[in-house]
Structures are given as structure tokens and as C-alpha cells.
Amino acid sequence: MLRKIAVIDVGSNTSRLIIMAYTPGVSFRLVDQLRERVRLGEGMGAENLLRPEPMDRTVRLLKVFRGLCHASGIDAIVAVGTSAVRDARNQAEFLRRVQASSGITLRVLSGDEEAHYGYLGAVNSLAIRSGLMLDIGGGSLELVRVQDRQARRTVMLPAGAVRLTETFLRSDPPKAAEIRTLRRYLEYMVHDLDWVEAGPDHVLAGMGGTIRALAKIDQLLQGYPLDRVHGYLLTRRAVEEIVTELARLPLRKRRKLPGLTGDRADVLLAGALALLEVMRRAGYTELLVSGQGLREGLFYEHFLRDPGPVTVPDARAFGIANLSFLYDVNWPHARHVQTLALSLFDQLRRLHGYGAAERGVLSHAALLHDIGLAIDYYTHHEHSANLILHADLPGFTHREVALMSQLALYHRRGLPTAQVYPGLLRRQDGDLVEKLAALLRLAEYLERSRTQVIQALRCRIQADRVTVECLVRGDASTELWATERKADLFRRAFRRDLALTTRPAPRSTGAGKRAAAAVSTTLAERMRELTARPG
Amino acid sequence: MLRKIAVIDVGSNTSRLIIMAYTPGVSFRLVDQLRERVRLGEGMGAENLLRPEPMDRTVRLLKVFRGLCHASGIDAIVAVGTSAVRDARNQAEFLRRVQASSGITLRVLSGDEEAHYGYLGAVNSLAIRSGLMLDIGGGSLELVRVQDRQARRTVMLPAGAVRLTETFLRSDPPKAAEIRTLRRYLEYMVHDLDWVEAGPDHVLAGMGGTIRALAKIDQLLQGYPLDRVHGYLLTRRAVEEIVTELARLPLRKRRKLPGLTGDRADVLLAGALALLEVMRRAGYTELLVSGQGLREGLFYEHFLRDPGPVTVPDARAFGIANLSFLYDVNWPHARHVQTLALSLFDQLRRLHGYGAAERGVLSHAALLHDIGLAIDYYTHHEHSANLILHADLPGFTHREVALMSQLALYHRRGLPTAQVYPGLLRRQDGDLVEKLAALLRLAEYLERSRTQVIQALRCRIQADRVTVECLVRGDASTELWATERKADLFRRAFRRDLALTTRPAPRSTGAGKRAAAAVSTTLAERMRELTARPG
């Protein structure tokens, strides 16, 4: 059953609305969003009072949000206030005004709750197992220690970008002494937090507008080939360079830096300094950017809860299945292409020499190779490649995304060129793309009629050829005809001819039947598995 | 109710299968296709006998087709044979073999029927009113005279590309004397056909592999910016240049010409000469390429008939509605954005000075601006632009397609740059794109919550501003807020400020109510109108 929910987040800097359409526990998609930097926390100062002008701006905006919610026919509104609202001495007055004018009841999140929902949004969109999550907002900064995808410890610090700027960086450009004082304050804030320190294989993930803006600027400076910040790796060195540049420029010039929207120029420096201090204290040299946080976390609680968990156990598998569901993928076909491609990969390992990482890329690309069919038949390989690049697939690195996109692009025809994505794919990756694309294409044509008629494969590697014995149940003439016509890429990639033979598939054993039943699970069932409480 | 049908066309050169999914009289899409150049007509010669090898190849391929049809769960197969089968003295034997080995019953089309279905496919995908349609196949060449979208006269000539090549061009490269003889033969064939001659506003449309190949080669030579042949204008001069080049090269070198697949290199020259002779005789200097023909014509007969007509009265409107249906467009919203955009266009005519052609572009772009929402929310404007470029929209010129794509790209944000599509859009078109995109964006934000709350507009043009009075029923706060934030492009394009005022919409009159009811027609109803027999 399709539902629609609105999530509203009234922050110190920006207020945002997202509208999600979803089937509980199965699939969701974003269908609308609005945002405006109304700076509710502006001028709160040490008195912690929301000022009339910022309150008016926010109340007006929430009325607009309410109008769009009403027009969109949503089932529920989840609206929260964070740091500015939480800390305001005149909180009650503000909540009353919001309620009276827009009918929206704001739930004021505690610092721990805010950190928790940020963590939920990020952990469900990244493949992190353990490490630290950092959310820099306008008013506060949250840190969550993650162990085996569970939140173990949380702290909220009054060190958001707007608050730090208003408290410490009052000159334009900021004076060296002001920056020194701010740094000392930050150092003091994180001094006792020994539980944030990095362990082996730990990952630092970050969210919030400050971090997204830093990632965008760094991407522009690097000439980065993808226009996505979710999943981007931001190094400490890169942040240091941006900080040096921001610190010496007056606001007027900071506003003109590439990638910096005018309305964040004034508070970015303080936020970046806070990030650097956390990286130093915890001992991380890079940060994985999450485009998802608080709002998505609030959404996941509704999407997943009762009776399931609020974190998906496998963010990658869930993301792939969600995308497949939205694009109406032929799931038995996709699963079978995956099975055949991995069988080829494993049996031909001696010829390609690739390992688990490359196997994973092939496996996920096989599931997604046909998503472009939702758009157009003749050019579906191009659309699949494009959608994979733009889908913000949770838990994959940008290099993996670029590779999967290339495999989908070449799954039907064409000879892969050594496409270069600066910083992601190098010319030398041409061999990898060619070999994996050849295996995916072979699997696709061995499943050309999409009926799983070729049930399994046995490969024999000879000096001049690879013989693939197809275990067949039914009429595989379409598959054999199509595969023989499309073997060019295989020949080129493996420098061997391809020979196909067939024999009837043996009758299934009990185990085989159970395995077949598992494969024929529908996508909706698969998604319920992926969102179910483990064990 | 969704149906699936396979259409198979056994030609002299190539055999093809398409599978269409459709709701009768409402909407359709291509879901699979196969093709192979099995050259059934090879070596038929003057005896008109299908040779054993070509027959074997074709029978094997049809078995493959049957396998895919079976696997795809289709409701019906429509399979036809054209020139080679029609003319073969051993036709009965071939039909028997096909039936016995694949279970497919081939219907042998007469020359008139073949011409008729080619006409149906082309007329339903082009906006032609009157003129001539030309289909060059492997075995035959068909001409159909069209008057007011109806076929008035038809002829089938034994002048297909394979047949002409085998009969006349036996040397490699062809001798000048051979080409002269072929030209004389063609001249003789069309000599008496005075009914093919062009009248005022007549259009020559062409289909078939020869014409698609010529268009592709010409596009590559021109550096043409779009990768679509449907709707391309091929000039007589361009064909003459390609002919000169083909005539002087041996086959080995012809195969390497850019855009020419190896398996058409041998027969293209003869086909091109036939095209030139038709253009000369009928007095056309250019030809509009149709990517659709015989197979689609056979499909339309099933899609549209009983009790409707077999030609859609308005190919453009039908194509737009079909695409909107496939991408699940919010039709009342799209229609209302169209209404508002055209109202702005008409009332601001004094400021832009554009006419009916530009109004048409705006009108259709308004209907399609949101189709990318089916793919992704945040980047839907990019996806809309991309889909419009790749959808083979029937009846639009490539220039119109490029303009509509640009308008969709800028309907939400961004400042249009003077994008150049060589041969389609020039730098000077920047003003047009900017002004139309500004009107479309204004209309979109005046309908931001997609509820038609702003029912009509009244514009007042002043020296420094345009005041738009919005006639409102309900709460238009989202619309007013959003429009004010997004007025930049309007200010830039019209060098005037934008002021919004509101007043309650007057109670509807009877006529107003009827008009409103017409606008709220569902898309499926609209599509039934578009495929119904005219009143």
C-alpha cells in the first residue's frame, strides 16, 4: 500500500521539507522537496532568544510547507525542531505560533535524539560497519560512535557552524586571533572524548550542509568527474586547503568561490574548522560524505519500524532492491544473469585473476543492468548506465558506481574504451571493464529470452578456446543463437574463442529445488527480507 | 488491459521481430526486438527461386524468433513475408517449411498491402498532411501518394536495393556502364507515374534500411548533433554526394565508410540511385526520414482498429500523450502548466514578438516538462530533457525536439546558455530559449503544488515591470512563495521586474465549468479521444 509522508526539519540555518512516497518495509522514493535558509537561529546570542524577524520568516515558510503537504495528499507530517528551537528560552512562544499559523506540531528533538536520527539516515545509506558519524548543523554538532552498524555512544556539542561564527568570527575577514580562539574552544570541546578515537577499519562519515559544501568545493577544485556528493571521500588535506583560502578572503570574495552558494559563505569557515578539529582528535585522515541524515533518519523510522529494525542490515542490497523495485525490473531475470555472470567469473578466474572486490562489482552490475528498460528499449543500456551514476546508491564507493555504470553500458553491444574518470577510473582499468563487461554480456545473452532456460554453466578452459557447457531445461535456441552472435567482446577480452555446448539439466535434488525456490522469490519478498529484523 | 503482440517481417534482405506491449487504443511501447540480415532473396535471379541456403538461414532465424515470442508470453504473432516470398516460385515450399519448423504462419503481403502498411507506420509517426511516401526494401520499392493523411494511390516497383544490385551492379567497383544501365532502368520504371509529382506544401517521406543508412552517413559527415534518424531531413544534394563516393570505391573500402555497417555496403549504392530517381521524377529536393514503417503499420492496425481508424488524426498529440502515459505524468498538472504558459505567451506577445511556431514549442514542452520525474526527483529536469531528445516523438522536427528539450531542462532552475546544436539551434536562438523557458518556469511555479489553485492569469505590462494578477481558488501561498523566489529568469529574459497580485477567481459560468471539465479529463480518456474515429 502506497503511503506519503512529509518530514520537516526546522534547523538553526535552514528549514527543509521532503515528501516520500513509500510502501512500508518495501520501497520508497522522494517525490517532492522544498528548502529555504530562513536562519531561525540568527542573533540568538548568549540570551538564547529567538528574534522576531527570524521567527516570522520561519513561521511564514512553515505555512508554505503546510500548503504543499496539504496539496500533495500526504498521510502524515513528521516535523522536528533542532538546536535553535531546543535551546531557545522562548521556545514555547515559537511552538505556539507555528501551531496557530500552520497547524504543524513541532517535536523538539533532544541533542541525543538529533544525533540518533542523523545516524539512522547515514547508516542506512552507507556501508559502514564501525567508526564515527559527525553531523555539523547550524546550531550544534553531533558525534555518534558506531560499532557493527549500531550506535554505541552519542554526544551533542554546541558547536554548529552558525553558532560558532556568531560567537567567534566577528571580523571580515576573520582576524587570526579570532580563529585562534575558536580553535582553542573546539580543542577544549573534544578534549575528553576519548571514545571517538579511530580503530582499525573504522570509517568517519559526515553529514550536514557544511560537509556537503566542502565536498562540492573540493570536487570543483579537483575537476571531479561525478556530480554527486553522497559517497565522496573528503581528505583532511583538502579541508585544510579550503580553510586556508576561506580564512584569508573577505566575505564579499568568499561568496564568489566556485561551488559556494552565497548564503553559506559566511558560516563555512567555522564549520570547516570544527570538522578539522574532530578529524585531528579522532585520528582520521579522510571523511566519507553522506548526503542523507536527520530527515531521512526520521523517515526510516516510519518506513522500517514495527516489527522490523530501524537500520537495514545491508544498505547495498537494500539500495539495489529499492532501485529495482522503482524501475520495475524483471527480478528473476536480473537474479539469473547475476548467477550466470558470477558462475563464469568464478570458473574463469585463472584467465582474469580478479578477486572479491571485482566480483562484487560484477554481481551488483548484473542486478542493475536492465533498469534503463523503464525508459526506452533501444537505448536501455545507456539509460541503465546513466541511472546507476545518478541514483545515489547507498554504500558504494564512487569508483564502484563508475565501474557498474560502465558494465551496464556495455552489457548488450559496443567495445568498451578505456574511459577515464579522473580519480576514479584510470586507463589501466580498461582491461577490468572489458573482461567484466564480456562476462556480463555472455550471461545476458545466455538468458536472452528471460526465462532461465539455461540453468547452469560448466566452463572448460583450453589453449585456444573456452567451452561453455549449458545445462538446459526447455528450448534454448534463442539463447544459443544470440550468444554466438555476440561473442566478439568475449573473444577480444579473453583472447580465446567461445564454444557453446548443451546438455539437459539434471533433475533437481532437494537442495537444488530449495535453491531454485530462493531464486524465484519475488522482489517484494526480497525487500521484506532486507528490511526484516535479523535472525 | 495490457496485451503483447509480436510483429515479424521476413524481408528480402533482413528479417525482423518487434514485440509491443499495449493497451488497445490507449498506449504502447516496444519491449523487445531482434533482427538479422539473413538475405532470403540472395541469388533468386530471373528464375525467382528461393535458394536452399538462404531458406535454411531464414527458417532457423524464425525458430529463434518463435522461441523469444513464446518466452515473452505474447498474445498474438503477426508475421508477414514481403517481396522475396511474394515473388518466389517455390513460395509454397518455403511457407510449409516455416510452418513446420517454427509453427509460424506467414502471411504473404501483396505489393499494395506492403505499401499500405508502410504508409500506416510512417503516417502515424510523422505530421505529414500530403505528399509522397517511399519505402525502399531489399526486393521492392513502394510509393504511396498521400492526401490529407489518407493513402490515395499506391504502386509497387520491383526495384529494391538487393534486387537492383544483383541485376545491374555486378562489378566491383561497379562500372560506369552498369550504373548508366541501372539509371536508365529506374528512369523507365517511374516514367509514367505522373501522380507522384509534388504539389505545394507536399512532403516526401522515406523509410527502409537504405534510407536510414543514407541518413546516418550524412549525419556523420555533417557532425549532426543528435543520434536519431527518425525526423531527419535528407537533401538530394547530400544523397548525390554519397552516391559519388560509393560509386568510385571497391566494396572492401565501402565497408569501412563511417556509418555504413559492413552488411549493407554492397547494396546501398543501388538503393541510393533509386531514391535519387524518385526525387528527380517527383520534384522533391529533400526527404523526411521515417524510422517507422511496415512493422509499425502492422502493429497500428491491431492497436487502433475496431471501431477506430487506423491512422491517428494527430500524430504529435498522440505521441505526447503516449509518452505521458508511459512515464505516468500528472496529467492535470501538465495540462494546467500548458494553459498558464500559453496564457502568459499570448498576453506578453508584445514583449517577445514570437508567433505560432514558437507557441507550439512552448505548448508541447509544457506537457512534457515533468516526464523525468519517473526517474529521479532532484535531477528530473535533466531527465526530462534527455527523454525528450531520445523519445522519437512523432511529427516533430529535430529543431523542435531540441528546443523542447532545452525548455524542459530549464523549467526549474539555471540560466539558459546559448546552447548550439549544429544545424538545429544557433547562438541567436538563445533569446528564444531564454524567453520561452522563463514563461514555462513561471507557469510551473504558479502551479507549484500541482492543484490548479491559480486558475487563470491577467498580465499588465508596464515600463519597468509585468504585473501578473492570479485568479485564485483556495490557498495559493506555496505558489506565490515559490514564484517570487524563482523570478530571476523572467527578470533577465524580459528585462522587467515581476509583481504578483491575487484575487478570488470568479464563480464559473456554465461555459467555464464545461471547460474545466474538459481540462480534468484523464490521460487515458484523452488517449481514447486521440485514437477515435473523427466525429
How does DSSP classify residue A264? G
Give tens-digit pLDDT for A23-65: 888 889 899 999 999 999 999 888 999 999 999 999 999 999 9
What pLDDT sits at residue B304? 83
Residues of A with CB below 8 A from B30's CB? 377-378
CB atoms within 10 A of CB A204: 24
What is chain A's Cα-based Rg? 26
A376 has a chain B CB within 8 A of its CB: yes
Is B316 within 8 Å of B396 (Cβ atoms)?
A: yes
Mean pLDDT of A372-398: 88
B512, pLDDT greater than 60: no
Mean pLDDT of B394-419: 91
Is A216 within 8 Å of A259 (Cβ atoms)?
A: yes
How does DSSP classify residue B2? -
What pLDDT sits at residue B226? 87
A374 has a chain B CB within 8 A of its CB: yes
Least confident interval from A131-140, A524-533, B236-245:
A524-533
Is A438 within 8 Å of A354 (Cβ atoms)?
A: no
Phi-psi region of B3 (alpha: psi -120 to 50; beta: other; left: phi over 0): beta
A362, pLDDT greater than 60: yes
Chain A nearest-CA residue for B36 = A485
Contact check, Cβ <8 Å, A67/B478? yes
DSSP bridge pairs for A150: A147
CA atoms within 13 Å, Cβ hemisphere of B128: 31
DSSP annotation string for A340-396:
HHHHHHHHTHHHH---HHHHHHHHHHHHHTTGGGGT-STTHHHHHHHHHHHS--TT-
Q: Where are the alpha helices (DSSP H) in A202-293?
A: 209-222, 236-248, 251-254, 268-282
What pLDDT sits at residue A9? 96
Residue A216, classified by CB atoms within 10 Å of its CB into exposed (0-12), middle (13-18) or buried (19+), is: buried
Q: What average pLDDT does the structure give for chain B?
A: 91
What pLDDT sits at residue A262? 66
Rounded Cα distance, A116 and A482, in Å: 52
Chain B nearest-CA residue for A327 = B375
How does DSSP classify residue A95? H
Question: Helix A380-390 vs helix A398-409: angle between axes, to the nearest 10 degrees?
Answer: 170
Give tens-digit pLDDT for A409-449: 999 988 888 777 878 888 889 999 999 999 999 999 999 99
Q: What angle do CA B358, B360, B364 make, to 5 degrees?
A: 120
What pLDDT sits at residue A508? 66
What are B28's three cell numbers?
Answer: 504502447
Give φ, ψ of A15 to 5 degrees. -115, 135
> What ipTM describes this predicted complex?
0.81
- Cis before A173? omega within 30: yes
User: Taking Cα atoms as reference points, which of B175, B10, B27 lies closest to residue B87?
Assistant: B10
Nearest to B67 among A32, A67, A475 (CB): A475
What pLDDT sits at residue B433? 95
Å between A153 CA and nearest CA of chain B:
34
Rounded Cα distance, A469 and A478, in Å: 16
Residues of A with CB below 8 A from B413's CB? none
Mean pLDDT of B430-441: 96
A390 has a chain B CB within 8 A of its CB: yes
Nearest to A71 among B63, B390, B449 (CB): B449
| Percent of chain B whose pLDDT exceeds 70 | 95
User: Taking Cα atoms as reference points, which of A385, A328, A22 lies closest to residue B328?
Assistant: A328
What pLDDT sits at residue A27? 87
Is B395 within 8 Å of B388 (Cβ atoms)?
A: no
Contact check, Cβ <8 Å, B374/A376? no
What pLDDT sits at residue A26? 84
Q: Where are the alpha helices (DSSP H) in B124-235?
A: 161-168, 176-190, 209-222
Which is it for strands A131-136 and A141-147: parallel, antiparallel or unpaired? Answer: antiparallel
A330 has a chain B CB within 8 A of its CB: no
CA distances from A101 to A26, A66, A94, B208 (A): 35, 10, 11, 65
What pLDDT sits at residue B415? 87
What are B249's three cell numbers?
Answer: 570505391
* Band of residue B510 on the pLDDT scale cut at 50, 70, 90: low
What pLDDT sits at residue B305? 67
B61 has a chain A CB within 8 A of its CB: yes
A71 has a chain B CB within 8 A of its CB: yes
B516, pLDDT greater than 60: no
What pLDDT sits at residue B517? 54
Rounded Cα distance, A359 and A344, in Å: 11
For chain A, how many residues are written?
A: 535
User: Taking Cα atoms as reference points, which of A274, A273, A276, A292 lies closest to residue A284?
Assistant: A276
Rounded Cα distance, B325 and B331, in Å: 9
Q: Which residue has the cell 491491431?
A: B302
Chains A & B: contacts with CB separation below 8 Å? 81
What are B401's three cell numbers?
Answer: 525536439
Contact check, Cβ <8 Å, B72/A450? yes
Rounded Cα distance, A466 and A452, in Å: 22
Contact check, Cβ <8 Å, B71/A482? no
How does DSSP classify residue A292? -
What pLDDT sits at residue A509? 59
Give tens-digit pLDDT for B15-49: 999 999 998 888 898 999 999 999 999 998 889 99
Percent composition of chain B: helix, strand, coil (DSSP 3-state, to 5): 50, 20, 35
DSSP annotation string for B344-399:
HHHHTHHHH---HHHHHHHHHHHHHTTGGGGT-STTHHHHHHHHHHHS--TT--HH
A535, pLDDT greater than 50: no
Rounded Cα distance, B268 and B520, in Å: 51
User: Taking Cα atoms as reference points, which of B181, B111, B168 lies closest to residue B143?
Assistant: B111
What pLDDT sits at residue B524? 80
Which is it for strands B497-504 and A286-289: parallel, antiparallel or unpaired? Answer: unpaired
What pLDDT sits at residue B309? 66
Nearest to B68 among A375, A390, A478 (CB): A478
Give tens-digit pLDDT for B455-508: 999 999 999 999 999 999 988 999 999 999 999 999 999 999 999 999 999 876
Q: What angle do CA B53, B58, B59 make, to 5 degrees?
A: 100
Give tens-digit pLDDT for B166-186: 999 999 889 999 999 999 999
pTM: 0.85
* Band of residue B535 on the pLDDT scale cut at 50, 70, 90: very low
What pLDDT sits at residue A514? 57
Mean pLDDT of B206-216: 94
Residues of A with CB below 8 A from B64's CB? 477-478, 481-482
What pLDDT sits at residue B513? 58
B162 has a chain A CB within 8 A of its CB: no
Rounded Cα distance, A61 and A35, in Å: 9
What pLDDT sits at residue B359? 97
B307, pLDDT greater than 80: no
Rounded Cα distance, A313 and A292, in Å: 17
What are A228's three cell numbers?
Answer: 554527486
What are A190's three cell numbers?
Answer: 573534544
Q: Where are the alpha helices (DSSP H) in A17-143?
A: 52-72, 83-87, 91-102, 111-123
User: Taking Cα atoms as reference points, which of A445, A491, A485, A483 lies closest to residue A465?
Assistant: A491
Give tens-digit pLDDT for B72-113: 889 999 999 999 999 999 999 999 999 999 999 999 999 999
A interface test, pick of B69, B375, B445, B488 with most A CB neighbours within 10 Å: B375
What are A406's three cell numbers?
Answer: 560502465
Residues of B with CB below 8 A from A226's CB? none
Mean pLDDT of A470-490: 93
B330 has a chain A CB within 8 A of its CB: no
Mean pLDDT of B325-348: 94
Is B402 within 8 Å of B354 (Cβ atoms)?
A: no
B180 has a chain A CB within 8 A of its CB: no
Rounded Cα distance, A223 and A204, in Å: 24
Cβ within 8 Å of residue B79, ≥6 positions away: B6, B7, B8, B9, B10, B62, B104, B105, B106, B107
Mean pLDDT of B329-343: 95
Helix H or strand E encompassing B241: helix B236-248
The sign of the torsion formed by the CA atoms of B493, B499, B504, B506 equals: negative
> At A528, which amino acid appears?
R
DSSP bridge pairs for A425: A421
Q: What angle do CA B254, B256, B259 make, to 5 degrees?
A: 95
Cβ within 8 Å of residue A240, ≥6 positions away: A276
Contact check, Cβ <8 Å, A481/B30? no
User: Taking Cα atoms as reference points, which of A480, A481, A457 lies closest to residue A469?
Assistant: A457
Helix H or strand E encompassing A259: none
